[in-house]
Structure 1
Amino acid sequence: MKEKIYLIPGLMTDERLWSKLTPYLDEKYELIHLPIPYSEDFDEINKILDEQIEDEKINLLGFSLGGYIASYYAVSNPKKIKRLFLLSSTPSSTEQKDVPRREKKLEEAREGKFTSLDEKKAIDLLEVKDDEELVRIVCDMFNELGNEAFTPQLALTLKREELFEKLNELDIPTYLFYSLEDRLLNHTSVKALEGVEHDFKINYRVGTSHNISLEVPRELSFHIENWMKI
């Protein structure tokens, strides 16, 4: 029987986020996608996820916002987590410099003023600029999820609290993997770890990619296999 890995996507992404990664891992592991519940409350999200998780102890990987959700779940249910993997993510609050822009976007979303993602914006989000299939996947995920997902997910980003200390107190192997020039990552949070004693395994790659599972799936698969050996 294959060991399971539960996967939580990020803001405005769905199971298509794992489509390039799956071929590298599906012979060894059973990958189980956990969509982000439509809620603005992390505790309610925990309850919904609990109903979907069939196992007593799990390997949990979260991408971006999903990484924070995975961290919150781990801190709330430490006995249920075997290993934790944060992909392009930190278990920290949103940087203050990003708050005003997100608050404005959230206000517009609540008023029903949802702006779809066009190809130009999608290309700007990607490290690989000339892959038409990747651009289409990113656009389709965002636009098909729409305002129904965007509003609660954006609201969640404004309710994040620092979880590093709580996570560090737990005996859970925690693995971070990110791109050095990822402008969507809270690098201040990662840098702060340099002055703190911790047991996190921190790994990075040179590049700008945030959507690592779509852009460099093979490299990511090696890190996941290393994590599964911890």
Structure 2
Amino acid sequence: MSLPTLFLPGTLCDERVWLPVWQKLQVHQRRYVPLQWASSMDEMLALTTDRVLAGEKVHLAGFSMGGYIAARWAIDNPDSVASLTMIASSPYGLTAEEEKRRAQLLTMLKKGSFKPDSPAYITRFVHPDHQNNPDVAGVVQDMGKDLGAATLLAHTQATTPRPALTDKLKACSFPVHIIAAADDQVVTAGVLKDAAETIPSDSYTSVPCAGHMCLLEQPDTVSRILQSIVD
């Protein structure tokens, strides 16, 4: 029997990041977890719980920050999990360098300095082939403008620090799938391949010609991978 699938967005993202994949994906029930509404880890986990009925199993598909939240929830609720798919999302904890970078970001945000339409912002998240594509770079910019610095600040604080989940995922019986973007500058394919071998995951796939925003850049490929998991 087909089971519901929960979709979780990344930092400073909403349902727009998933829309191109949803348009190509056939699922029994599509349920979206609006992490853009949350300002703490507890709220993110509670929003996920709210979308799962008592006694049912669900597939979890989380992008970036959403992948980490999905993994956290799955570890806490293994009997409700049919599968976990982490997309451009690392189960490892933050490195000292990443925590330092986040501290700098928080300082910048508190001073009111945030420009989602800057070339540097787009370059970090979007593959060069898609940086002039309004359906990719334009959506990233629009989400950044609409959700704003307050959401980015809340998401960053809610997920810092970020403990590693690899040991706990090793002990879980549900399938774990990892999807990497081949040219991701934020969560590199090499890191995710290592994580897939460490857990070990039930599948690892690298999406070609894609940066961190692989859901927008390569929805055909991502939807095909997800379809094979949820069928």
Normalising by structure 2, what TM-score? Answer: 0.87
Residue ranges of structure 1 left out of the alignment (5+ in a row): none
Cα gap change, 1:82 to 1:210, in 2 (>3 Å): same
Go from structure 1 to structure 2 and tell me whether the alpha carbon gap of 1:121 and 1:133 turns closer, same or farther (over 3 Å shift). Answer: farther
Deviation at 1:149, TM superposition (A): 1.1
Corresponding residue number in structure 1 for 2:229:
227
3-state SS of the aligned residue for 1:53?
coil
Mind listing any 5+ residue stretches in structure 2 that lack a counterpart? none
Please tell me whether the aligned partners of residues 8 and 62 of structure 1 are also in contact (alpha carbons under 8 angstroms).
Answer: yes
Q: CA RMSD in A?
A: 2.3
Query: Match for residue 145 of structure 1?
Result: 147
> Paired residue for 1:171?
173
Q: What's the CA shift for 1:34? A: 0.7
CA–CA distance in 1 between the matches of 2:196 and 2:187? 16
2:49 maps to what in 1? 50
Output one character per residue of 1:116-160: Cα deviation in whole Å (capped at 9) or x when no partner. 311523541211123123222111111111122111211133221
Residues 5 and 61, structure 2, Cα contact 8 Å, conserved in 1: yes
Report the residue type matching 2:45 in the other structure. Answer: N
Deviations 1:50-72 (A, max 9, x none): 12333622111000010000000
Inter-CA distance 101–62: structure 2 relative to 1 (3 Å threshold) = same
Q: Which range moves more in the overlay, 216-225 or 198-207?
A: 198-207
| Deviation at residue 197 of structure 1 after TM alignment | 6.3
% identity of equivalent residues: 23
Q: Residues 208 and 215 (structure 1 numbering): CA distance in 2 closer, same or farther, change over 3 Å? A: closer
Q: Is the 1:94–1:186 Cα contact (8 Å) retained in structure 2?
A: no
| Greater Cα offset, 111-120 or 192-201 | 192-201
Contact kept in structure 1, 2:178 and 2:192, CA below 8 Å? no
Residue type at the aligned position of 1:108: M
Structure 1 CA distance for aligned equivalents of residues 84 and 29 of structure 2: 16
Verify: 1:79 aligned to 2:59, yes or no. Answer: no
Change (3 A) 1:119 1:133: farther
Aligned-partner Cα distance in 2 for 1:134–1:196: 32
**TM-score, length basis structure 1:** 0.88
Aligned length: 226
Separation of aligned partners in 1, 2:17 and 2:217: 10
- Counterpart residue type for residue 130 of structure 1: N
Q: Are 1:207 and 2:209 an aligned pair? A: yes
